[in-house]
Structure 1
Amino acid sequence: MTITQNHNRHPFAGYTIGILAPNLNYEKTLGNVANAETFDFPVLYEVVDIDLELLFQGDESLNETIIAAAQKLEASGVRAIIGACGFFANFQNLLKEAVNIPVFTSSLLQVPLIENSLAPNQKIAVFAANGENIQHALAAAGNTNTDRYVLVDVNQLEEFAPIRYGKKPLDNEALERALSDLAKKTVDSDPSIGAILLECSDLPPYAKAVQEKTDLPVFDFLTLINFVHQAVKQRKY
């Protein structure tokens, strides 16, 4: 019997989205990108054992590790790769040249789409897990219209510390209140804000509360991932 060569065979199947996940030890609530139950479709994780601070900085010493993880996901048969931290944007150009499938490293890649949906005088409030390095990550993702971004450092919230530093239990309800209150304060102080983008992959669980407080469109990692999933796995109507 002749067996037809098939270069797309893999040990397992059914995963369309591959996710690069930093090796961080804290509670992953429903809605978190690192919680597989968040999705209505199977996802495949590849743990990337890297220093988060170096990820924020886009340090080139991480290049080899991140490339290897992305290539492993590609070899496993996923159709697109996502980075489970907005600061993977620092490696967008590196990774898209290292694999042959689409790469969407960061929620920040949605910024041009949001910009084009808003009036020229409207701004995007970007809520980031690290305010010190967010401008660099935005630029790495091709976002240079800095006058249109209102940058908000979520790290200022004490309730975010269990996620950021992993040193005490997460109070999910307290963080939801704190983040939504911060969003309301931010929008009230600048009426030109027309949309909100949650950079951090840990923040989608609070997107609804943020929207209810601000009455604005809220974009996050899940709006990106669901968009990409539909693009690479269309359904028949």
Structure 2
Amino acid sequence: MILRANKGQVSYGVSIGIILIDTFTPFIPGDVGNATTYSFPVRFQTVKGLTFDKLLNKDRSMLEPLIEAGQDLVNEGVKAVTGDCGYLAMYQEELADTLKVPVFMSSLLQLPFMSHMLKKGEKIGVICSKADYFDEKILEGLGINSHVSLCVRGLEGQENFRKAAHDEIGIIAPDLIEQEVVSVARQLTEDEPAVKLLLLECSSLPPYAAAVQQAVQLPVFDYVTMINYVQSTLVQSRFQGFM
């Protein structure tokens, strides 16, 4: 067997590339931005100047830096590119059209798949970072039609989450944030009995998915379930067993 080097590539063996926005927040295990979240290696690339506020303001000036970050990851050999904020959905189409690998920038891309798992009249509950930003336009950009029945709740009113994720004070209290996320999930499912699946939109929420599931006893999707799924398609393994 003869293997050839790829021009400009200096490391190998990483399938998933993750574009990070420019934040000042500790990333605990389970967060998309923490490498120990994964059972496989990942490569990170930060887009300097792409802040959460710019995403909320739908700042299109950051498209080129995003494309450059994605191309840098592709040049280093990744086989697919994702991000660390569900609101990166606004750039999904342009990045997918430009990069020569599959692109899945937002956890919201799981919604069509989830919707087909439901009976008529059932709904998907979405817990997101900031509900005011969550509008039809962001879904339309992902090709998600209005027939997907959603119940959306934001975490902007939760003090500990807001301080860590929105105010970016540089300190996080995971136990307290877990209590807040679980509380919102419980209230959502109590208010909306038709909700049968949950999606945690924000990339900082997967650390709390197990606690949410224990509290509401529903399937819980998040950024990490999506990344793990894509990884499983990029790196298939032969089956071992017997008959």
Normalization by structure 2: what TM-score?
0.92
1:106-121 equivalences in 2 (<5 Å):
106-121=106-121
Paired residue for 2:66? 66
Aligned equivalents of 2:114 and 2:57: distance in 1?
Answer: 25
Q: Is this contact kept in 1: 2:124–2:150, CA < 8 A? A: yes
Secondary structure of the 2:98 match is coil
Matches within 5 A, 1:99-138: 99-135=99-135, 136-138=137-139
* Correspondent of 1:183 among 177, 182, 185: 185
In structure 2, the residue matched to 1:48 is: 47
Cα-to-partner distance string for 1:49-78 (whole Å, 9 max, x where unaligned): 212222234321111111111111111100
Alignment match, 2:150 = 149
Q: Aligned partners of 2:236 and 2:80: how far apart in 1?
A: 13
Moved more, 49-58 or 82-91: 49-58
Per-residue deviation, residues 101-142 of structure 1 (Å, max 9, x unmatched): 000001000000000011121111111112121123222222
2:35 corresponds to which residue?
36
Worse-matched range after superposition: 99-108 or 55-64: 55-64
Partner of 2:26: 27
C-alpha distance in structure 2 between counterparts of 1:164 and 1:4, whole Å: 47
Q: Point out where structure 2 has 5 or more consecutive residues left out of the alignment.
A: none
From the superposition, tell whether residues 169 and 74 of structure 1 become closer, same or farther in structure 2 (CA, over 3 Å): same
Structure 1 unaligned regions, length at least 5: none
Partners of 2:97 and 2:157 in 1: CA distance: 35
Q: Which amino acid aligns with 1:98?
A: T
2-structure distance, mates of 1:204, 1:145: 26
Q: Which residue of 2 aligns with 1:78?
A: 78
Deviation at 1:143, TM superposition (A): 1.7
Residue 97 of structure 2 corresponds to which residue in structure 1? 97
Distance 1:123 1:178 in 2: 22
Does the 8 Å CA contact 2:115/2:148 hold for their aligned counterparts? no
CA contact (8 A) 1:58 1:91 kept: no
Length-normalised TM-score, structure 1? 0.94
SS in 2 for 1:117: coil
| Aligned-pair Cα RMSD in Å | 1.7
* Larger deviation, residues 119-128 vs 159-168: 159-168
In structure 2, what residue type is equivalent to 1:139? E
Change in CA separation of 1:182 and 1:42 when aligned onto 2, cut-off 3 Å: same
Task: Name the CA distance, whole Å, in 1 between partners of 2:82 and 2:3.
Answer: 32
Alpha carbons 2:114, 2:197 under 8 Å: kept: yes
* SS of alignment partner, residue 156 of structure 1: coil
Corresponding residue to 1:211 among 205, 210, 213: 213
- Counterpart CA distance in 1 for 2:15 and 2:170 is 34
